[in-house]
Structure formats: C-alpha cells, structure tokens
C-alpha cells in the first residue's frame, strides 16, 4: 500500500526474497505488492502473479527461522488448517487454491515456512476505506453482513477462518467485506472470529482497532477505567446505540452480556439492513454530473472542493436516514439480547413526564419457578484448548438433534486433562432446582458446579451435584446453593472405552428454584 498502516515487524520483514519482483514456489509466484502483515502469526500478506495460470493470487506467507522448531510447528499447523478449509466456499471468503510447505514447492533456504495461496480479491484494502474517517452506520452494516455470514457458515462446518486482523480483509467492488488472506493461526478458535467481526465493526464505526496485535499506525481503541473498550457511540455520537452495543459485546470475554456467536451479530445486522433498505427510494442528489451518481467506489476520493461537498452531503443524508430508521428499533433489538421476554407489569412510563402526586409504581411480580435459558454458554477448559468451542451453543438451542461433543481421547480423564465442561452464564444471580441433560453418552460422569465468574479457576468453583448420565434424559437435582450467574456442567469421566473416550451433550435445561 502506498499509505496507511505499517506492514509489520515479523521475523521475515527483512527477508531479501520477499520484495516486489521476488519469486516463490519454484518461480511460479512472482510478488507484486505487499498488502499487510499479521505479526501475531509471523505472516506477510502479498498480491502475487501466478505465472503458470496467468492470474493474480493472494499469498499468506509464513516466515521465520527454519531452525526454530516451534515456529516450524506453528507454520505447519496453519497450513494444515488452511488445507482443511480449502473445501469451504462462500462469497465472503477467498477460496484456498494451493498450500506450499518446505520441500513441496519452497526452497528451504528462503526462510519461508509455508504459503497459503488464495484467489485474489479485486477491490480495495479495508484500511484504505477508512482513511477519510469512520463510515455511516448503514454503510458499515451492509459491508459487514457477507463476512459475518461466511464466518457463521464456516463455524457450522467446524472451521475457523482467522478473520481477526484488518489487513486480511478487502472490500469487493460491489461493497462487501471479504476475507482475502485466509490462514488461521494455530491457536485461533471460533471465538476469535466473532471477536474479529466485532473489532471490524468497531473499526468501520470509529476508525480504531479494538483487539491486540493490530497494524502499527492504526489508532488503538480507547478504554475506560475498568479496562473495557469504550463504546463506539461514546466516540461517535451518531452511531446507533444498538450497533454500538453489538460491537462492544462481541469483544467481551467474561461479561454475562458478551456475544459469542456470529449468528447473534447477524440477527441484529439483518434487522437493521431490512429497515434501512426502505431508504433506497430516496432519489440521489445530482446537478447533471454523472460522476456524482456513483454510490459506491473503490477509488480514493477525488480532489476538489465541489466533489467533496457533494460527497459529504450524500453521506450525511444517508446517515440521517439510516439513524432515523434504526432509532425506533431500539426497544425491539435490545429485547433480542434478553434472556426472557420483557413484560410490562407496571404502569407505562412516558419519557419527559413526571408521575402524578402520590402515584406509586406497581411492584414486580415474583419470578416463578421453571426453565430459564442462559444468556450464553461456552466451553470451559483449564488447558486453554477447548473442544469444539464453535458448537457449544448447540447444547442450549432447544433442539436435541444438535449437540456439542468433546474430542475423542485416547486415554480417559485425567490423563490428558482433569475434565472439560460447558459454562452457562445468566443475566442475573439465581438459584437452580435442577439441571436436565439430554445425551446419548451413557456412563458419562458430570459435576454441576457454581462459579463466581466465567473464567474462575476450577478449584474456586463449588460442586452442588454429581450424576452419571443415562442414554436419554437425566434430571439432576441440585443441593441448596447461593444465588449465582455462572453454572458449570463439568465432565469428569467420558463415555467409551479403550482409545475412544468421548461424550456429547444434546441439550441442557436449567430449572429455576422457587
């Protein structure tokens, strides 16, 4: 890129072969321009020319010292994941077409540990898009939806895309974000894709990056006294509260209100997009110059005060129309994140009017006993290597035909780890009477534990029940316990025998105590 963020300081930044005109893959791929660098994975991102097929391609080049065993292992894991993902196709992701490793198209002396070759995405860099400042909320929503849909599809397929770095993303000519440089880091999980989606939304709305390891030269998102990232609406007052909330909650790791799936983000984006589509009938402002009728362009803004004035007026009108349409959705979309439907049990409160003298509010009715859905559920793993983290929500989706399952272990617990489980988080502290587990994995032994936080160490959690699961439904009655927001179903013994130890949970039903 000619301007914008620096391109990284990874171990291969000074590699003499990684310069425009350099070649890789036994001379097949000639480097054209560097688009960025993801220093977290020691990766350089290049546009190159495939000399055999006479087409441009995107190269994610993994660099490092060939004598560094850990670096070589990390690169191998990245290329393996990329090869596994090559069968996944979606308009929001550039398709992987080749993977190179030392000995299979790479010369060992090059200091390149691996290359992921993908289709080239025409358009512009994401970072170039925001050089003139943040985008209107409606434009950000339209841009982000295709990438969000791609992430959701990949997670359903059990894949992690690695869409958590802005220089890996490009904007297509028709105005859609696309993962242009695939190649997930070895440690990346589905949660990282969701956080990346939230960070990209944050970037579009504020021009600031809200995750560690972003490009140097890009402003870092400011944080409050508690260390949490400030909401976009705090930095840009025109950003709708709902969209601002989605961006921040997608980044949260331990908060009860955190968004953990791309589906949750997509639902809000879809609602906003559907309503904003009604503004498409607003006629464009023109003065006879056809060039001003361009709604979307991948080119940098032209110089000239007249053009800039017209562009600013058009953007302002779209922004005002977008905010007007979105504003009335506030109550409905906020309800989307609630654990239970909102019931108006008290008098109607009208903003701006005071209550009549002597008027009192009707007290809220007591919450009845019965099933209660958690605000979120995630895989709890003390080894930081969670099993099938992207499918945890399938244990609370009211569909026993879908399930979360552990990996298959060659040795039973605690040989490799002491256990694994699902941590549910609720909107408010409560007491539970029972937990009902639907499972096909008879013989699985579980403990029901309560915790002070999602990431509490296992030794700081408290066991309130133990049970051995049968095939079908197992209702576990809980001992009396303090009210809590965090409940862990902790598996201490897997089903199966020999070298095939594995358990699944089809559905979890939590029942509130009276």
Beta bridge pairs of residue 62? 43, 114
pLDDT at site 200: 95
At residue 377's C-alpha, the angle toward residues 373 and 378, to 5°, is 175
d(CA 44, CA 61): 5
Contact 407, 502 (CB under 8 A): yes
Q: What is the pLDDT of residue 278?
A: 53
The pLDDT value given to residue 268: 75
The confidence band for 31, taking pLDDT boundaries of 50, 70 and 90, is very high
Q: How confident is the model at residue 205 (pLDDT cuts 50, 70, 90)?
A: very high
- CA Rg value for the chain: 26
Looking at residue 257, its pLDDT comes to: 57
% of the chain beyond a pLDDT of 70:
75
pLDDT confidence tier of residue 225, bands split at 50, 70 and 90: confident
Helix (H, G, I), strand (E, B) or coil at 119: strand
Residue 398 DSSP symbol = S
Q: Report the pLDDT value the prediction gives residue 131, as an integer from 0 to 100.
A: 85
Model pLDDT, residue 334: 42
Mean pLDDT of 412-433: 88
**Around Cβ 28, how many Cβ atoms within 10 Å?**
18
Q: In what order do the strands lie in the sheet with 376-380?
A: 376-380, 420-430, 484-493, 445-451, 462-468
Kindly report the average pLDDT of the chain as a whole number. Answer: 79
SS (H, E, C) 106-125: ECHHHCEEEEEEEECCCCEE
Is the confidence at residue 483, as pLDDT, over 70?
A: yes
Model pLDDT, residue 477: 94
Q: Please, which pLDDT band fits residue 240 given cuts at 50, 70 and 90?
A: confident
Q: Is the peptide bond before 414 cis (omega within 30 degrees of 0)?
A: yes
Average pLDDT over residues 305-309: 39
Strand pairing category for 169-171 and 124-125: antiparallel
Out of 134-143, 262-271, 469-478, the most confident range is: 469-478
Q: What are phi and psi of 510, to 5 degrees?
A: -100, 130
Average pLDDT (190-200) is 93
> Which tens digit of pLDDT belongs to each residue from 159-172?
999 999 999 999 99
Lowest mean pLDDT among 228-232, 465-469, 486-490: 228-232
Confidence at residue 469, expressed as pLDDT on a 0 to 100 scale: 94
Q: Report whether 143 contacts 177 (CB < 8 A).
A: yes
Percent helix, percent strand, percent coil in the chain, to nearest 5 = 30, 25, 45
Which is more confidently placed, 348 or 261? Answer: 261
In angstroms, the CA 109 to CA 306 distance is 55
- Could you tell me the pLDDT band of residue 326, with boundaries at 50, 70 and 90? very low
* Local structure of 86: helix, strand or coil: coil
pLDDT in tens, 70-87: 999 999 999 999 998 888
Q: Give the residue, 331 or 64, on which the prediction is more confident.
A: 64
* pLDDT score at 280: 45
Other Cβ atoms less than 10 A from the Cβ of 303: the count is: 7
pLDDT for 305 beyond 90: no
Closest CA to 387 of 457, 491, 475: 491
Distance in angstroms (rounded) separating the CA atoms of residues 199 and 206:
10
**pLDDT band of 57, cuts 50, 70, 90:** very high
pLDDT over threshold 80, residue 354:
no
Give residue-wise pLDDT tens across range 376-408. Answer: 899 998 877 788 888 899 999 888 789 999 988
**Over 70: is that where the pLDDT of 50 sits?**
yes
| CA 182 centroid distance within chain | 15
49 confidence band (pLDDT: 50, 70, 90):
very high
Give the pLDDT band of residue 332 (cuts 50, 70, 90): very low
Strand partners, 376: 425
pLDDT for res 399: 86
Report the share of the chain in percent with pLDDT over 90.
46
How many residues are given for the chain?
514
User: Residue 250: phi, psi to the nearest 5?
Assistant: -70, -25
> Is 60's pLDDT higher than 90?
yes
Instruction: End-to-end CA distance of the chain: give it in Å, rounded.
Output: 62
| C-beta separation of 29 from 55 below 8 A | no
Q: CB–CB of 146/154 below 8 Å? A: no
pLDDT of residue 13: 53
Non-local (6+) Cβ contacts of 274 within 8 A are none
Q: How far apart are CA 292 and CA 33, in angstroms?
A: 31
pLDDT, tens digit (0-9, with 9 covering 90-100), for 357-376:
444 444 444 555 688 999 88
């Amino acid at each position: 890129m000619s301007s914008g963020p620096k391109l990284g300081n990874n171990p291969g930044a000074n590699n003499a072969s990684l310069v425009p005109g350099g070649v890789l893959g036994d001379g097949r791929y000639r480097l054209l321009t560097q688009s960025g660098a993801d220093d977290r994975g020691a990766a350089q991102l290049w546009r190159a020319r495939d000399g055999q097929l006479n087409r441009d391609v995107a190269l994610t080049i993994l660099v490092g010292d060939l004598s560094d065993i850990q670096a070589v292992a990390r690169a191998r894991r990245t290329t393996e994941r990329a090869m596994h993902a090559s069968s996944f196709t979606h308009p929001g992701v550039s398709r992987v077409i080749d993977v190179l490793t030392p000995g299979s198209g790479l010369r060992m002396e090059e200091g390149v540990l691996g290359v992921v070759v993908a289709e080239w995405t025409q358009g512009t860099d994401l970072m170039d898009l925001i050089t003139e400042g943040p985008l209107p909320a409606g434009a950000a929503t339209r841009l982000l939806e295709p990438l969000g849909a791609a992430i959701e599809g990949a997670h359903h397929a059990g894949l992690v895309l690695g869409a958590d770095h802005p220089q890996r993303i490009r904007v297509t000519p028709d105005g859609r974000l696309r993962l242009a440089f695939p190649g997930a880091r070895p440690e990346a999980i589905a949660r990282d894709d969701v956080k990346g989606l939230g960070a990209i939304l944050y970037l579009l709305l504020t021009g600031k990056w809200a995750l560690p390891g972003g490009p140097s030269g890009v402003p870092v998102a400011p944080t409050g006294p508690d260390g949490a990232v400030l909401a976009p609406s705090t930095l840009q007052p025109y950003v709708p509260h709902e969209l601002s909330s989605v961006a921040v909650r997608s980044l949260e790791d331990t908060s009860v209100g955190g968004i953990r799936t791309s589906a949750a983000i997509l639902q809000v984006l879809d609602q906003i997009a559907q309503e904003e589509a009604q503004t498409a009938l607003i006629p464009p402002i023109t003065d006879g110059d056809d060039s001003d009728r361009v709604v979307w362009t991948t080119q940098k803004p032209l110089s000239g005060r007249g053009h800039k004035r017209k562009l600013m007026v058009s953007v302002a009108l779209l922004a005002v129309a977008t905010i007007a349409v979105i504003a009335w959705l506030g109550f409905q979309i906020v309800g989307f994140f609630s654990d239970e439907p909102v019931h108006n049990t008290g008098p109607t409160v009208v903003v701006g009017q005071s209550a009549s003298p002597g008027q009192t509010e009707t007290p809220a009715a007591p919450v009845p006993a019965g099933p209660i859905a958690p605000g979120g559920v995630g895989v709890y793993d003390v080894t930081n290597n969670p099993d099938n983290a992207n499918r945890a929500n399938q244990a609370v989706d009211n569909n026993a035909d879908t399930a979360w399952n552990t990996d298959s272990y060659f040795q039973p617990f605690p040989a490799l780890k002491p256990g694994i489980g699902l941590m549910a988080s609720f909107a408010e502290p409560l007491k539970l009477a029972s937990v009902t587990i639907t499972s096909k994995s008879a013989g699985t032994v579980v403990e029901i534990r309560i915790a002070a936080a999602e990431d509490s160490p296992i030794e700081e959690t408290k066991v309130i029940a133990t049970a051995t699961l049968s095939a079908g439904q197992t209702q576990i009655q809980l001992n009396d316990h303090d009210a809590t927001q965090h409940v862990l179903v902790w598996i201490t013994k897997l089903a199966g025998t020999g070298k095939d130890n594995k358990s699944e949970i089809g559905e979890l039903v939590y029942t509130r105590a009276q």
